[in-house]
Structure 1
Amino acid sequence: MREDQLTTTPSHPVRPLDPIDDAILRLLRTDGRASVRAVADQVHISRANAYARINRLIDEGVIRGFSARVNHERAGRGASAYITLKIVQDSWRTVRAKLEELPGAAHIALVSGDFDVLLLVHTEDNRALRELVLTRLQGIPEVLSTRTLLVFEESDLLPER
């Protein structure tokens, strides 16, 4: 995960999205491979307008990229878990850099509440998950404690219509 994906301060002022922008985002979240022509047709705007809007959404950081939705089990990473971490105060940047290097790390978030960090991982099996938690995570000096929540089943949510 890159630094710019986790920053909370936008590089330019946040501009409210209009209904056409919202429709484009819904469409691209459902099908990130949709052509500009398909986007234009479904949103009822010209191709030039669709192209300009998509590029603006990318330039403004609203669209951070395009990716595939992966079935982790079929990809050989059938053990998934959310792991909560309590960390040393003011060590977020250091911990984040170390978590970004972990094999199978899919999402990292600094959160409020009973713990400081929420980490989503996908590993080959429970043995690999145990190794990741007991050796890699608990071996980070700034990590005070961890709690592992196994994922039994998951579903991707599609955007609202």
Structure 2
Amino acid sequence: MDAIDYRIIDQLRQNARAGYGDIGDVVGLSASAVKRRVDRLVADGVIRSFTVQVDPAVDGMAVEAYVELFCRGTVAPDELRRILAAVPEVVDAGTVTGDADAIVHIRSRDIPSLEDALERVRVAPNVDHTRSAIILTRLIDRRNQ
């Protein structure tokens, strides 16, 4: 990858629907040259997909929380993945350093459904306890950049 590839990716992050000509105007290439580069970036697995992301509030999933997950003993990441994959409200999760074993991002339609999702996580084998923080105001959201 070179600097132009990075600039093309930056343009696609801002607007994945931008035309190749529009991107070319910004990066200094013809539309066909941009298309060839995008095709190569896709073929090489650099660009994994093009997608639409709908505001979760519009989808009725406006309540979100970050949950620290504490396990009994040592639990393999594959086991945590299996436990969390069974809860559809879990939108993101990762193992972490520190006291918690994992951080889990949950989205739900309301507080009762959040509580239900949390309970499904808590009763899973090897889960000792959780500590939750409900998001009040999203200050920065760079997930699409």
Where on the TM-score scale, by shorter chain, does this alignment land: which range?
0.7 to 0.9
CA deviation string 1:35-89 (max 9, x = no partner): 3332223222122321232223223333222233332222211210111112342
Q: Partner residue of 2:67?
A: 83
TM-score scaled by structure 1? 0.76
Classify 1:124/1:67 alpha carbon distance in 2 versus 1 (closer, same or farther; 3 Å). same
Q: Partner residue of 1:51?
A: 35
8 A contact 1:91–1:142 mirrored in 2: no
Q: Partner residue of 1:10?
A: none
1:19 matched to 2:3: yes
Q: Percent identity?
A: 27
8 A contact 1:79–1:151 mirrored in 2: yes
1:119 matched to 2:104: yes
Cα distance in 2 for residues equivalent to 1:142 and 1:67: 35
Deviates more, 1:24-33 or 1:36-45: 36-45
What code does the residue aligned with 2:67 have? I
* Aligned 1:1-150 pairs, distance under 5 A: 17-87=1-71, 88-134=73-119, 136-150=120-134
1:28 aligned counterpart, secondary structure: helix
What code does the residue aligned with 2:141 have? D
Cα distance in 2 for residues equivalent to 1:116 and 1:59: 36
What code does the residue aligned with 1:94 have? E
Q: Partner residue of 2:136?
A: 152
Structure 2 residue runs of 5 or longer lacking an equivalent are none
CA deviation string 1:81-107 (max 9, x = no partner): 111112342421122123123222221
